[in-house]
């Protein structure tokens, strides 16, 4: 039985697109798997992130939570929760290093900068400038 030419082209296109999407999905799943593997200290990146969040959750006021939500607003909604958790973990780590009694805007901005990949610093700068945040104290983190 002969299939029409356009149908065979459609089948080929369908399988190429399907395999491409599965490859992309597999890549992101593998990255998540690598982050969940324990390091030399016995905890994974995700374990440490959750640890820092749990230890500092009582330091966050509503204003600081709103600021964090505004800072992650440019992130696509699909990835926003993951980005928010990563940034909050980094902020918590910084606050614990400084033995903070209260979460401050300085800790939030520093954690936001450190948790954001270098390739996204262009959008980070735009977001911080929209919020009228002075970037001079954080210049060394942006280089």
Q: What percent of the chain has pLDDT over 70?
A: 99
* Distance (Å, whole) CA 142 – CA 118: 8
* Distance (Å, whole) CA 7 – CA 121: 46
CB atoms within 10 A of CB 26: 10
Chain segment 14-49, per-residue pLDDT in tens: 999 999 999 999 988 888 888 888 888 888 888 999
Q: Alpha-carbon dihedral of residues 98, 94, 38, 142, nearest 10 degrees?
A: -140
Chain segment 81-129, per-residue pLDDT in tens: 999 999 999 999 999 999 999 999 999 999 999 999 898 888 889 989 9
Q: What percent of the chain has pLDDT over 90?
A: 57
- How do the domains of the chain map onto residue ranges? 1-36, 40-142
* Distance (Å, whole) CA 74 – CA 135: 18
pLDDT the model gives residue 21: 95
Band (pLDDT 50/70/90 cuts) for residue 71 is very high
């Amino acid at each position: 039985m002969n299939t029409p030419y356009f149908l065979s082209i459609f089948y080929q296109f369908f399988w190429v697109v399907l395999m491409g999407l599965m490859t992309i999905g597999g890549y992101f799943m593998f990255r998540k798997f690598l982050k969940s593997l324990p390091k030399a200290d016995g905890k994974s990146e995700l374990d440490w992130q959750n640890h820092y969040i749990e230890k500092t959750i009582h330091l966050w006021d509503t204003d600081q939570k709103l600021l964090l939500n505004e800072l992650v607003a440019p992130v696509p909604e699909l990835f926003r929760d993951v980005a928010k958790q990563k940034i909050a973990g980094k902020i918590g780590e910084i606050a614990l290093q400084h033995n903070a009694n209260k979460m401050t805007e300085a800790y939030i901005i520093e954690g936001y900068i450190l948790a954001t990949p270098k390739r996204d610093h262009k959008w980070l700068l735009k977001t911080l400038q929209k919020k009228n945040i002075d970037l001079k104290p954080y210049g060394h983190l942006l280089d």
